[in-house]
Amino acid sequence: MSVNAYVLRILARWRLIAVSTVVLGLGALAITLAADPVYTSHAQLYVASAGDDSDSEAIVADGVRVKGRALSYAAVANTEAMATVVIDDLELDESPEDVADRINAVVPFATVLINLSATGDSPEQARDLAEAVVRNYNDVPAGIETADVGGLRVEVSTLKEATLPEEATSPRPLLNILAGLVAGLLLGVALAVLRDLFDQRVRTPDDIRGPGLGAARQHQLRRGGRLRA
């Protein structure tokens, strides 16, 4: 059987494929509508030496050392120590673990920048959390190196203030529905293929020559008998 003929044979089961696609698409829509919106506020921080050394060589050396410390300082953002301070600052009724899970910080490669993000159930909640983290950043040692290790004093400054989100970052209705439709389509095709594999009814001459049809059934077919599935 040619590929085109087999494709047409699978497409003949379009009802099964359509039902699977619609069901998963509607499922994705239902999940999207039931999900609570999540908003994300973004801020950017700058890790720098707090010294007043005017020696150019010392400044360059400090810059290299600060770059090596940026990752450690980014780790401060979503620690329970930071979360505890933020809870006191904003008078939140949440556990430190829950608040820490809503905070994230990453350092772009080979920079001394910290890209901070905070999530919330509303734009204001997300922004307030990000602002509280920024406001208390230099006051939280979080169990990492102190700001005075090796004679180098480091502090975190604000490069970009926390933003007020204009729209929810999750859920994404269009993306979720498209994902559901694609998944339903693939599942429907897979089910159609499986159903075809287990369907022993004779539809074309190729089915007679197929390996799954025994000699007795071929003889029965030649005599005009009806093949049973």
Residue 93 DSSP code:
-
* pLDDT one-digit tens code per residue, 148-179: 444 456 788 899 999 999 999 988 889 999 99
pLDDT at 33: 86
The DSSP code sequence of 19-41 is: HHHHHHHHHHHHHHHHSPPBEEE
d(CA 128, CA 212): 68
Please report which helix (H) or strand (E) contains residue 205, including its range.
helix 205-209
SS3 (DSSP) at 45:
strand
47 CB-side CA count, 13 A: 32
CATH 3.30.70.1130 location in the chain: 39-160
The C-alpha angle 182, 186, 191, rounded to 5 degrees, equals 145
How far apart, in Å, are the Cα atoms of 68 and each of 72, 86, 146, 200? 8, 26, 14, 67
Q: Do 227 and 200 meet the contact criterion of CB atoms below 8 Å apart? A: yes
CATH superfamily for 39-160 is EIF_2_alpha (3.30.70.1130)
pLDDT at 66: 64
d(CA 213, CA 108): 63
Beta bridge partners of 39: 120
10-residue stretch averages of pLDDT, the chain, 229 residues long: 79 90 93 90 85 42 59 86 94 94 91 92 96 90 47 77 93 90 94 83 56 48 51
d(CA 142, CA 199): 65
pLDDT at 93: 93
Query: Which are the contacts of 196, defined by CB distance < 8 A and separation ≥ 6?
Result: 9, 10, 13
Instruction: Using only the alpha carbons of the chain, give its radius of gyration.
Output: 31
Please report which helix (H) or strand (E) contains residue 62, including its range.
helix 56-74
